[in-house]
Each structure stands twice: as C-alpha cells, then as structure tokens.
Copies of this chain bind each other. A is one copy, B any other.
Amino acid sequence: MSWNGGGITVRKTLPGDRPALVAIIENSENLSREEMDCASELLDIYFKNPLETDYLFLTAVDPSSSPAGYACYGKRPLTDAVYDLYWIVVDSRRRRGGIGTRLIEELEKLLREEGARMLVAETSGLPAYEAARRLYLRSGFCEEARIREFYKPGDDIVFYTKRLQKSNGDA
C-alpha cells in the first residue's frame, strides 16, 4: 500500500528521533556529502543542549509515529524577531506527501505565537532545488533577493521571505 501523506503530526524533535532523522539525511540523494555532515552536526548540537543552541528542530511524524522529515530553524542574531529556516529535509520515499508544507505551517504557527516578524529561507537556484523553491512559493514565501554564483560558479543563492506580522507601517 502506498502512503498518501495524511495524518502528519509536527512536534518538537526528541532525542529518540535521531536514528530515523540521520537515515533520512543519509538517504537524501539531492544532498552532497558536505551538506549531509552539516545537517547531522546541527542535529547533534541540538541534542547536546536543546535549550541553549541557536538551532531548533521540529519533526514531522506519520500516523505510526515514525519520523518522516524535519525542519531546522533559529532566531537570527542581531535582528528584531527574524527567523531563519535553515533546512527542511523530507524522507525521500515520502516526497510529494505534503510533509514539507505541514512542517512550514506548524513552524509558522509556533513562530507567530513567539512574536516572530519574518521567516527567511535560503536555497540554491539550481534545477535540483526546484521542489524546495516551489514549496516556499506555495507556502506564501516571496523570492526577495539573489546573489549570483554564490554556492559555486553557476549556482546562485536565492532568499525567500515570508512576513509573519504586519510591519509598523501597516498597523
């Protein structure tokens, strides 16, 4: 039976999620070795001291309580209530199941409660990242800025932003 993506719950990432999330990272064929190592390293920084780190995590779990993906985010230092969405990683066997959308929805809900003003996601402009860019646009982000050839020659960084509150000027 194929899995249809329904019944996804999003909650804080717990230490018991580690093996499943590391497996999801290692099976992401669109991540380079360096990106996989960086993603796992951030996870371990979080598990070491979840209250003190700049990197926070949410896990999406399926109806059998099995992790299906995660979001890594954090408050951007020196800003007024801007949060970075560092990574969204979804189990490669369960893509197109709405897991990324659910992770962003729950993250936004949580951040709005904390008074966040803006969410920023950085991604690559390469074709391999088109699914990520479409996810951001579908979730109400705008492409706001771009630095050409940033990651490597021919590979731009694209900044997607979503305003979570009215700015003072609109109030």
Interface, chain A (partner B; CB < 8 A): 34-35, 38, 77-80, 82, 117-118, 120, 144-154, 159, 161, 163, 167-169
Count of chain copies: 2
| A–B Cβ pairs within 8 angstroms, 23 of them | A35-B78, A38-B77, A38-B78, A78-B151, A79-B151, A79-B152, A80-B152, A80-B153, A82-B150, A117-B149, A118-B150, A144-B147, A144-B148, A145-B145, A145-B146, A145-B159, A147-B159, A147-B161, A149-B167, A153-B168, A153-B169, A154-B168, A154-B169
Give the docked Cα–Cα distance between A118 and B152 (Å).
10
Pick the 5 closest A-B CB pairs, nearest first. A145-B145, A80-B152, A153-B168, A153-B167, A79-B151
User: Given contacts A78-B151, A118-B150, A120-B150, could you give 17 more A-B pairs where the C-beta distance is less than 8 Å?
Assistant: A35-B78, A38-B77, A79-B152, A80-B151, A80-B152, A82-B151, A117-B153, A118-B149, A120-B147, A145-B146, A145-B147, A145-B159, A147-B159, A147-B161, A153-B168, A153-B169, A154-B169
Give the docked Cα–Cα distance between A90 and B34 (Å).
36
Which among A34, A80, A150 has the greatest number of chain B C-beta atoms within 10 A? A150
| Chain B, Cβ-Cβ closest to A166 | B153
Q: How far is the CB of A117 from chain B (nearest CB, A)?
A: 8
Q: How far is the CB of A77 from chain B (nearest CB, A)?
A: 6
| Chain B, Cβ-Cβ closest to A152 | B80
Give the docked Cα–Cα distance between A79 and B148 (Å).
12
Q: Which of chain B's residues have a CB closer than 8 A to the CB of A117? A: 149, 153
Q: Which of chain B's residues have a CB closer than 8 A to the CB of A153? A: 80, 117, 167-169
Contact (Cβ within 8 A) B150 A79: yes
